[in-house]
Structure 1
C-alpha cells in the first residue's frame, strides 16, 4: 500500500490540526488546476506554470496536500530559543508530520513523489523538520530496506523508525574525513567467538564529527565503518545500531559530546561521537545477500573494495536529490515572498513600489530564471534516476552533479532576497533568514561542496558527458551552441596539471547548467499554453544568456564570442530580463505558497507589525496600512518601461 493510500485509509484528517486552513489555502489552487484541465477552455497561466513546476493532475494535488499538512503544523520561525531547544522541537515535528501523513515513515520513504514533496515543502514551510528528513527517510529507513537482509534486529529497528518516535541518522563524516569518505577510519572488528562486531574510533581523526546526536531522544543509526576480519581490511560497510535507548541514554561503548552553536542559527544538535568497544550483533552488518559469515565465522564477499564502498554510499544519492530540491524550494519561497513585498512596499516621495526600481526588478528576474532552471533540473534528474534501466553509477553521478549547483544557486537567491528586503529580511518572522540557514546547512552537509563537484567532473571526464533521457527539443539559439562547444571543449581537454581541480569543477558545472537549460526548455515544449510557453522560453533564454556572460572571458579567449556577439548578448539579456520582469507576479503565484502565510511581508506589512505590537486600536488604519487594492494587483507590469510580452513563441 502506498503512503498516499495509507494517508486516506488510516488518517483522512491529520490529528490535532485545524483543517480549515487546508481548505482555505488550497481551494483557489485546486480549482485553478481542475479548470485548466477541462477541454476547450482557456488555460489559466498560473495553473499551467504550477503544473510545469510540480507535475500534472494527481502529482500537483498531492503536492498541495503535503503543503497544507506541513503549513498546518505551525512551525513558525521563533524568537528567544536556543539552538538546542529548537533542535529538540525538530524531533517532535518529525513525529507529528509522519502521523499527519498516514503514520508510516517507511511508506513515505519508498514513495518518491511523497518523500520528495515532503523534502521540498518542509524547506518552505517547516525548515526545522527538513534537517531530519535525509537522515531519517533516506539514510536510515531506505538504507536498512535496500541494503539489509530482513533480520529480526533490522525489522525491530524499522518498526521503531516507522512512527518517528525513534529518529534515524547516518554517521559518515569524521573529524579527519569529510567528503573523502572512502578513507574513513572507524573500525568494526569481527569477533568470531561472540559472532558480533566491536565498534571503535581508533584515532583522533576517526571520531564521527557533526551528525546530529546530542539530543537525548531514541536513535537507531547507521554507522559507516571499516570492517576488519582476522586483521584484514574488508572495506567500508554500513552497520546498524541502537545508539540511544527509548529513554535517550547512550549505548555502552559510545560517548557523545554536543558541539558548539553554529554561526548561522541552524537548529541541529550536532555532536562528536566516539566509539570504544561498542558491541553490535552480527545482523547489524547491512550486507544483504552480497556478503556474510559462514558457520566457522569466515567472511565471504565477491565484491571489490570499491564496489563495497559504492554500495555502502548508495543511499546518499536519493538523499542528495532530496535536499537539492529542498534548497530550490526554499529559494522559490523566498523569491515569492520578496516579489510580493516588493510590490506593496512604497518608497520615495512619489510612493513608487520598490519593485518598480530597475535594480530590484532586474535582480528578481535573474533570480527567477535561476529558480526555474534549477527546479526543472532537479525534477528531470529525479525522474531520470527513478527509471529501472538507470544503473546506480549514473544515479550517483547525477546526484553529485545536481546537489552542489542547485544548492549553491538556491543559497545565492535566498541571500539576495534577504538583502533586498533589508530590515524586514533579517527578522526571522519573515522566513528569509531561515531559508538562508537551511541552504547553508545543505551546502555544508558531507563537507566542502566544490570537492563533491570536482569528483563529479572527474567522473564525467572518465565516463563521458551524460544526458538526461527524453530532454525533448533542444534550443536552437546561438547562445546554446556556445554552451555545447564549451562543454565539449572542457571534456576533451587534457587534464590540467596546474589546475586539475578547477578544470574538473568547470566541466561539472558546464554539464549541469546545460542540462538545466535542456530541462527548462523541455518544460516549455511540453506545456499546452502558448502564453506559458513564451514565458518559459524567456526564462530559459535569460538563464542561458547569463551563463554565457559569466564565462564571456573563456568564450572570447577561444574566439567564440567576438564584438558582434558580445553586443547581441547585451541586447538580448536586456530584452529577456524585461520580459521576465513583466511576468514576475504570475511567476511568483505559480509557486503555490499558502495564501495566509504568517510572514509579515506576505501581506500588509505595516498593519501586521502594528497588530504584532498591539497598537491597532490606538493608531488610525489610514496611517498604518494601504488598502489591499493599492498594495497588490492581479498582474501589473513591474516597471512602466517593461515591454509587453511577445505575441509569438520564439526559439531564437
Structure 2
C-alpha cells in the first residue's frame, strides 16, 4: 500500500504517481478522509434493512461532523468537499449523499449569502438540525429556473408565505423525512412581491422535528431508489410562513426594511444562477465521487484477477485469469481511463478555483463538461470491472453493484449529464469561429505523444466543424430545427473536448515528473488513452487527411502494443491509488483468501477425521483472525508431519495444494472488524 513519503529526496515511483493522481498536497487534502474511512464506525456493515442502513448513514454523518474542526470550513473549501466525496463515496454512497447536501448545498448556500447579516448556524454546525436542499420539482428538473413553488412577501407579518400551487410543483427527491433527526431546508421558490415576480431565490425553512413534518409542510417518502438507501421524499408547502430573514439575500436581491425589493442584478435568470451557485462545487463533488468509485472498483477487479486461478493450456498447470489478454486488456484500458479521469478532475478544480471573473464562465463550463464525461466514464469502468469479476461481482458484499447504482445517481445529480453537455455544446458552438487548419507538420508518428495530442485536438475541431455545417444547411426561421440538426455532432464535439482536456492534463502532469520510472508509466498510460480515442475516430481523421492510410492501418497493432505495456504494470499501478489495506479487506474478492468467506464449518470436507485427532485437526482448520494467520509451514511445524498426515487421511495432494496457495505478508493481511 502506497502513501506518499515525506522524504522528498528519494520518492518512489508509486509515491510520484500518487502525487500525480491526488495533487502535491496529498496529506493535507486527503489524509483526514483516508484515515476516517478506516475507523471502525465506517467499516462496511453486514446486511441490515434499508432503514437500518439509512440510520447508520446519519449516525456516521454525526461521527464525521464531530471529527471536523468546523463544518463551515469544509463547506467553504471546494477541495475538502471534493476529497470527502472521493474517499467516502465508494464506502457509503448514502452517507456521501446526505453529507454533500448538508455541507455543500445547504451550509454552503447559507455561507455564500447574507455576508452583511450573518445568521446563527450553530444548530447546523452541531448537527442538531440536518440541512437539505429543495430545488428540483416533479415538473422541473434541468429547467429549474422555471420552478413554480412561490414565496409571497407578506408586508403585515414581514415575512414570506411558501406555497406549492399544484402537484407538479412538489419538491422532488430531497432527503426531508424525519430520518436522521430534525431537518431544515434551503428552498428554491419564486419571490412574489408588490405584484411582481422577481425570479427564483432561496429561503431557509424548518421542515421537520425528530418525528414528523412541521405545520405547513407535507413530506411523503418516494418509492425506494435503486442503490444505497436515502430518504428521498416529495415535499410541499401549504401557506407556510417564514420570517423576512429566511430569504438568502445578496447582490441578486433583498427585501429592505421598507418592504421593497431591490436587486443589483436586473436579469431574473442571472439572479437564479447567483442563488444556486453551489451547483458548481456540487458538480466537482460528483466528479470526485465517480473518480473514487472507479478507482476502488478497478483495484478490486485487478486484485481478484491475480487471485482467481484457472486451468492453463496444460491441465496440470494453473494461471491467474489476469494472464489472459481478453481479461487484462480491458483492465489496462480502464487504468488509462481512471488516470485520465483523475487528472481531468484536478484540472477542472484548479482552473475553477483560480479563474478570475473574466474567465469564470469558461471555468464553470469545464467543470460541467468534466462532470458529465467523468461520471459516464466511471460507469463504463465499473461495468467492465464488474463483468471481469463474474458472479462474484454481482454480490453486494463485494461492493461493485452498490457503486454501479451510486454512479447512476451521480450521472443525474447536479444536472443530468446530457442536459449539461447540451448546454456546453450550444455555448461552444455559438461562440466558436472557424479555425484555420494548422500548417502541415509532416506525417507524424503514432509513438509521438505530441502528434497524438494534435490528433485529439483535431477530433474536437472536426466534430464542431460538422455541427456548424449541419446548422448552416438547416432551414432558416426554425431555431429548434437548426439546433436539432447540429446537436448530435456538437455533443460529439463536447466529448472530444473532454478527451483533449484529459490528454493535455496528462501532458502537464508528465512535464512535472523527473525522467525515470514514474514518467515512463505515465507516458505509457497517456499513449494508451490517446490511441483508444484516436482509433474510435480514425475514419474521420483519415477522411480529413489528419491520418495517413498507413497510420490508420497500423493503429490496431499500436494499440495492442500499448495495452501489453500498460497491462504489465497495472497490478502495481493499483498501489498508486493509496487505498488502505484495511479498506480493501472489506471486499472479500480483493484478498487472496476470498474463498474462505464461503467456507462451511459443517461441510463434509470438515468431517471424517480420526476421533483421537479431531481436536488437533479442528485447530488446524479453525477460522482465526486473518491478520494473525501463521504461514502454512509454521502450522505444519506445530503439528508435526505425522500429525498432519494423520489429520488429513492420505492427503499428499491436499498438502500440495495448501503449499501452492499464495501466502499473505503480515503487513498485507486482511484486517477483520474488531
User: TM-score per shorter chain, which class?
Assistant: 0.7 to 0.9
Q: Tell me: CA distance 1:557–1:160, structure 2 relative to 1, closer, same or farther (3 Å).
A: farther
Q: Tell me: CA distance 1:191–1:94, structure 2 relative to 1, closer, same or farther (3 Å).
A: same
Residues 175 and 209 in structure 1, CA contact (< 8 A), matched pair in contact too? yes
Secondary structure in 2 aligned to 1:71?
A: coil
1:249-277 Cα shifts (integer Å, max 9, x gaps):
32221111101112x33221111111121
* Root mean square deviation of aligned Cα: 2.6
In 2: Cα distance, 1:181 partner to 1:626 partner: 63
Shift of residue 590, structure 1, vs aligned partner: 0.6
1:79-133 Cα shifts (integer Å, max 9, x gaps):
543333322221111111121233x211222233333211111023333321123
Counterpart of 1:602?
Answer: 590
Q: TM-score, normalised by structure 2?
A: 0.81
Q: Which of 459, 463, 476 is the matching residue for 1:486? A: 459
Residues 33 and 88 in structure 2, CA contact (< 8 A), matched pair in contact too? no
Q: Which of 349, 358, 368 is the matching residue for 2:325? A: 358
Q: Tell me: CA distance 1:428–1:186, structure 2 relative to 1, closer, same or farther (3 Å).
A: same
1:301 maps to 2:266: no
Secondary structure in 2 aligned to 1:132?
A: helix
In 2: Cα distance, 1:272 partner to 1:612 partner: 46
Residues 399 and 587 in structure 2, CA contact (< 8 A), matched pair in contact too? yes
Q: Tell me: CA distance 1:159–1:381, structure 2 relative to 1, closer, same or farther (3 Å).
A: same
Shift of residue 363, structure 1, vs aligned partner: 0.4
1:181 maps to 2:147: no
Counterpart of 2:366?
Answer: 398
Q: TM-score, normalised by structure 1?
A: 0.84
Shift of residue 302, structure 1, vs aligned partner: 2.6
1:156-199 Cα shifts (integer Å, max 9, x gaps):
3x222213342222111111111111211111111122111111
Q: Tell me: CA distance 1:611–1:148, structure 2 relative to 1, closer, same or farther (3 Å).
A: farther
Q: Which of 124, 141, 160 is the matching residue for 2:90? A: 124
Counterpart of 1:418?
Answer: 386
Secondary structure in 1 aligned to 2:238?
A: strand
Secondary structure in 2 aligned to 1:499?
A: helix
In 1: Cα distance, 2:554 partner to 2:403 partner: 36
Counterpart of 1:190?
Answer: 153
1:441 maps to 2:395: no
Structure 1's unaligned 5+ residue stretches are 1-27, 466-474, 635-652
In 1: Cα distance, 2:495 partner to 2:185 partner: 34
1:203 maps to 2:169: no
1:221 maps to 2:189: no
Shift of residue 480, structure 1, vs aligned partner: 2.3
State the aligned residue count: 586
The equivalences for 1:239-638 within 5 A come to 239-245=203-209, 247-262=210-225, 264-303=226-265, 304-348=267-311, 349=315, 350-387=317-354, 389-390=356-357, 391-446=359-414, 448-464=416-432, 476-492=449-465, 493-494=467-468, 496=471, 497=482, 498-596=484-582, 597=584, 598-606=586-594, 608-610=596-598, 629=662
Counterpart of 1:96?
Answer: 63
Shift of residue 280, structure 1, vs aligned partner: 1.5
Secondary structure in 2 aligned to 1:477?
A: helix
Secondary structure in 2 aligned to 1:266?
A: coil
Q: Which of 186, 202, 211 is the matching residue for 1:238? A: 202
Q: Tell me: CA distance 1:135–1:567, structure 2 relative to 1, closer, same or farther (3 Å).
A: same
Counterpart of 1:51?
Answer: 19
1:366-407 Cα shifts (integer Å, max 9, x gaps):
000110001000011111111152554234312211111101
Secondary structure in 1 aligned to 2:354?
A: coil
1:134 maps to 2:120: no
Larger CA deviation: 591-600 vs 494-503? 494-503
Q: Which of 68, 74, 82 is the matching residue for 1:108? A: 74
Counterpart of 2:113?
Answer: 147
1:399-440 Cα shifts (integer Å, max 9, x gaps):
211111101111111121111111221122222222212212
Residues 506 and 526 in structure 2, CA contact (< 8 A), matched pair in contact too? yes
Shift of residue 294, structure 1, vs aligned partner: 3.0
In 2: Cα distance, 1:150 partner to 1:488 partner: 47
Shift of residue 320, structure 1, vs aligned partner: 0.7
Secondary structure in 1 aligned to 2:124?
A: helix
Residues 317 and 399 in structure 1, CA contact (< 8 A), matched pair in contact too? yes
Secondary structure in 2 aligned to 1:461?
A: helix
1:296-349 Cα shifts (integer Å, max 9, x gaps):
311111311121021022110001101211111110011011111111110124
In 1: Cα distance, 2:376 partner to 2:339 partner: 14
Structure 2's unaligned 5+ residue stretches are 434-447, 472-481, 607-616, 622-631, 633-653, 668-674
Q: Tell me: CA distance 1:519–1:73, structure 2 relative to 1, closer, same or farther (3 Å).
A: farther
Residues 244 and 250 in structure 1, CA contact (< 8 A), matched pair in contact too? yes
**Bigger Cα Rg:** 2
Q: Tell me: CA distance 1:278–1:625, structure 2 relative to 1, closer, same or farther (3 Å).
A: farther
Residues 524 and 533 in structure 1, CA contact (< 8 A), matched pair in contact too? yes
Residues 480 and 544 in structure 1, CA contact (< 8 A), matched pair in contact too? yes
